[in-house]
Amino acid sequence: MRPMVYLQSLRYVLRRLAQAVPTIIVIAIINFCVLQLAPGDAADVLAGESGGATPEYMQQIRESYGLDKPIPVQLVLYVKNVLSLDLGYSFRNSAPVRDLILQRLGPTLLLMGVTIVLSICLGALLGIFASSRVNTWRDNAISVLSLVSYATPLFWAGLMFISVFSLWLGWFPTGGMEAITEFNEGWDRVFDILHHLFLPALTLSLFHMAVYTRLMRSAMLEQRGMDYVTTARAKGLTEGRINMSHMVRNAILPVVTMAGVQVSTLFGGSIVVETVFGWPGMGLLAFQALFARDLNLLLGIFLISACLVVFINMVVDVLYFVLDPRIRDAG
């Protein structure tokens, strides 16, 4: 039976990979067309920074970056380059876009990964605690906490955390990824990065933790009325054993689904958080590229972000094969 499960999972992954390639290409085309709607180009930015430029110099800049070609021709060349893993050249940073993104991809993945784990774990635990004592002070307190976390803007929460925990108490640094001047190595560097990571990850987790808390609470209350729970109680199992061994596995499925859906919003929130805390990730790079009108860099960041979203959603779908046997049976 288990080899059959592996075969079903492999077939599903291959089918999703076949669907992901045209999806990413379509996203790349849409991103290119949307960015072309913005006024100005790289030549206008460079001319503005220099205080002006002759028409001949402007034409030379456009020719060097391929901006003198018609939009359809630029689109065809862009798609061709994407298929060959060439994301273009950043005029602002004077470096290939692929190299710039690879330098910033690690910090962003670290921030997003810790945020996902932290928000899911805290949200699920709070949802379980709230559902175990419905309409009590604990349930009401968790509900209020979730509502406040959901409604708080990320940039405001980040600034308040910096004011309290960094400037007032002095527990955490105000920004950055590590203390470069200390030249830490080994475990000292790991702890230093985690020290800098705590406030950005906590800020980015607030919104998602609130969503997972409410979702887990509702799922646990729904599972509580199922027949298998009644049967478990009739067997004499304790409520704690029923919750952790039976109900949580079924109730966690909506949370896993929502985690896959919210990956795109997580990256959008990371742009704000990375800007507030000076975290050297792709979000801060996208913010800088936007004001510099560095379209090649923006297109590369959007493309990599789309690939991350597609990949994580594939991982979520595979987790469903592990967590829910009904999906395997339906397949």
pLDDT at 28: 82
In DSSP terms, 95 is beta-bridged to 90
Other beta carbons within 10 angstroms of residue 205's beta carbon come to 25
The model's pLDDT over 72-125, given as tens digits with 9 standing for 90+, comes to 887 888 888 887 877 777 777 778 888 888 888 888 888 888 888 888 888 888
pLDDT at 61: 67
Q: What secondary structure letter does DSSP report for 173? A: -
CA–CA dist 110, 246 (Å, integer): 32
The model's pLDDT over 122-164, given as tens digits with 9 standing for 90+, comes to 888 888 888 777 778 887 888 888 888 888 888 888 889 898 8
Q: Give long-range contacts, CB 8 A cutoff, 24+ apart: 234-242.
A: 239/132
Other beta carbons within 10 angstroms of residue 100's beta carbon come to 23
Domain segments of the chain as ranges: 106-291
Low-confidence stretches of the chain (pLDDT < 70) are 1-9, 38-58, 61, 63-68, 238-240, 243-246, 264, 320-331
pLDDT at 41: 62
CB 248 within 8 A of CB 128: yes
pTM: 0.77
Q: What is the DSSP string of 26-79?
A: HHHHHHHHHHHTSS--HHHHHHHHTT---HHHHHHHHHHTTTTS-HHHHHHHHH
Report the CATH number of the 106-291 domain. 1.10.3720.10
CA–CA dist 321, 327 (Å, integer): 6
pLDDT at 1: 44
